[in-house]
Amino acid sequence: MTTSPIPWSLVIHGGAGAIERSQTRPETDSGVRAALNAALDAGGTILSAGGASLDAVEAAVRVLEDDPHFNAGRGSAFTFEGNNELDAAIMDGATLRAGSVAGVTATRNPVTLARAVMEQSAHVLLGREGADAFSREHGLDQADAEWFATPERRRQLDELLSNGGKFDVDMKYGTVGAVAVDQAGHIAAATSTGGVTGKRWGRIGDSPLIGAGTYADDRGAAVSCTGAGEFFIRESVAFQINARVRFLGESLRVAADTVMAEVKALGGTGGVIVTATDGGMAWSFTTASMYRGCAASDGNRKVALYEDEG
């Protein structure tokens, strides 16, 4: 008699926004899909071998941080002043431990720095110079400004400045994230972003804020968000989805759709990915596209970019 494998699942995103199929170059489309598949491979390899969901989400997000197709790590958006300031968060659903960083400038993989804050400090959120100092003191891989900067992100800033330097209302998000459940039945979430083009005054969005852009609780759901951060903060999107699953018993999709509708009613757009300890997976978005993918122990695997891909 054979026993069924304990289910695991992994869901990832690479941002959501006003990105139409007709506006996407073929090489960009194929590059994004390749990166999403590589991230699924990185996280899925860990989960299929019995590894922890926390390790899987970190591994998946690191792949996306290193790929310039996304607005996280290498390829992050430029601030108004022409710098790259990076945010990231990670959370363990089994223990409710969490770590996050905001406004860091020199850590190659901010998600790994967020995990170091969780595991090697007494704090949850570190910012700017302090987070950079913590990263150096703990021996994390550093990178210079040239590593993060890309010509396309610079072009986007130049275009914004030429139009008066107004806040990036077009919101072509490229935030990356991952949620997973492992064979022990524990969930985790991680998110990483370069923010929005032209951000000023040390602006911080939802991604590094536990409960807004990132949350994981074995009693409910693991959630990673991408979108108009100011609205996601006001709605506490990640925690609300978790709470609806935990306390109301809603399905992942119903909880995600309900909270995203509330974000839309406020005037915000974006998307979320969600999983739970039973291996269920869902995503919900209110934009023309969300770069996304999923993989599971039952062989279910999908990579999609546009709304019409289901």
Taking the C-alpha atoms of residue 245 and residue 253, their distance in angstroms, rounded to an integer, is 10
Q: Where are the alpha helices (DSSP H) in 149-304?
A: 151-162, 229-235, 237-248, 252-266
Q: Are 233 and 206 in contact (CB under 8 A)?
A: yes
Taking the C-alpha atoms of residue 240 and residue 194, their distance in angstroms, rounded to an integer, is 24
Q: Catalytic residue positions?
A: 175
Taking the C-alpha atoms of residue 248 and residue 257, their distance in angstroms, rounded to an integer, is 14
3-state secondary structure of 21: helix
Start-to-end CA distance of the chain, whole Å, equals: 37
Taking the C-alpha atoms of residue 270 and residue 286, their distance in angstroms, rounded to an integer, is 6
Q: Would residue 125 be called left, alpha or beta, if left means φ above 0 and alpha means ψ between -120 and 50 degrees?
A: beta
Taking the C-alpha atoms of residue 117 and residue 94, their distance in angstroms, rounded to an integer, is 17
Q: Which residues pair with 142 in a beta bridge?
A: 107
